[in-house]
A = this chain, B = another copy of it.
Amino acid sequence: MQIMIDIDAEEPLFAQLMAEIKLAVSTGTISPGDSLPSIRQLANDLNLNNKTVAKAYQLLERDKIIATKGYRGTFVHPEAKENVDFDLNAWVSNQLDQTIQACRNQGATDSEIRIAFTNIMQNKIRGGH
Chain A residues within CB distance 8 Å of chain B: 9-11, 15-16, 19, 59, 62-63, 88-93, 95-100, 102-103, 106-110, 112-117, 119-121, 125, 127, 129
- For the complex, would chain A's binding face be called helix, strand, loop or mixed by DSSP majority? helix
Beyond A9-B129, A98-B99, A100-B121, 13 additional contacts (C-beta under 8 Å) are A59-B109, A62-B107, A63-B107, A89-B108, A89-B112, A89-B115, A92-B103, A92-B106, A92-B112, A96-B99, A96-B120, A97-B125, A100-B120
User: What residues on B are CB-neighbors of A88 within 8 Å?
Assistant: 106-108, 112
**A110 and B99 contacting across the interface, CB-CB below 8 Å:** no
Q: A95-B99, A99-B96, A99-B99 are in contact. Are A121 and B110 (CB under 8 A)?
A: yes
**A121 and B125 contacting across the interface, CB-CB below 8 Å:** no
A19 partner, pick from B11, B97, B119, B129, beta carbons under 8 A: B129
What is the CB-to-nearest-CB distance from A49 to chain B, in angstroms, rounded to a whole number?
17
**A117 and B103 contacting across the interface, CB-CB below 8 Å:** no
